Structure 1
Amino acid sequence: MTMLRTASALALLVLSAPALAAGVKGDPVAGAEKAKTCASCHGATGNESLDDTYPKIAGQYPEYLAKALHDYKSGERENAIMAGFAAGLSDEDIDDLAAFFSTTGKATCTT
């Protein structure tokens, strides 16, 4: 039984290592639910934009994604569409979205 507990603890540590190493603060599972609004422009995983004017955000560093959302919210970064969406986000929402999109795959372009 002790060996099973040790194996389970080790598996949990290995699975969470990428998130810990990247400094991810948010919950990617909660972020997936919150990202449904984002899907209309960025795609379900952030990598399927139907319009080239919308950046592909999948696989970006979570710190970058969180900063971008905070900057849209504060007005430091200007985009009328994103400012409207970011205005209603809490710090937790931003962290969750950043955690989700940072784990969804590689971005193919950035803006």
Structure 2
Amino acid sequence: MTQQISLTETTSQHQCSCGCSSASDYELDARTIPHAIRHGAVLGALASLDVGSAIQLIAPHDPKHLLSQISDLFGEAVETSYVDRGGDGVGVRLLKVRASE
């Protein structure tokens, strides 16, 4: 059985000084991704982002373990910030501020 994962492009509010012009924001609802592949799907989506682009991640719970993995893999190349901690999920913005080493 296959399941479709949705990564939706949203209006970009990109405001950095990196000079890039292809920045986009995407919304990724991790609640729809099977648990066994959830972290891999998010990490893969994050790795494919252009500098200046961001993912608005909607997680079913506080993704502390995932954020730790992101920090280990991407270091300071990705900035994270909580945008919503209530309702049916937790919202986290993952902004790629420079290329990964």
Q: Same fold (TM over 0.5)?
A: no
Q: Would you tell me which structure has more strand in proportion to its own residues?
A: 2
Q: Would you tell me which structure has more helix in proportion to its own residues?
A: 1
Structure with greater Cα Rg: 1
TM-score (norm 2): 0.28
TM-score (norm 1): 0.27
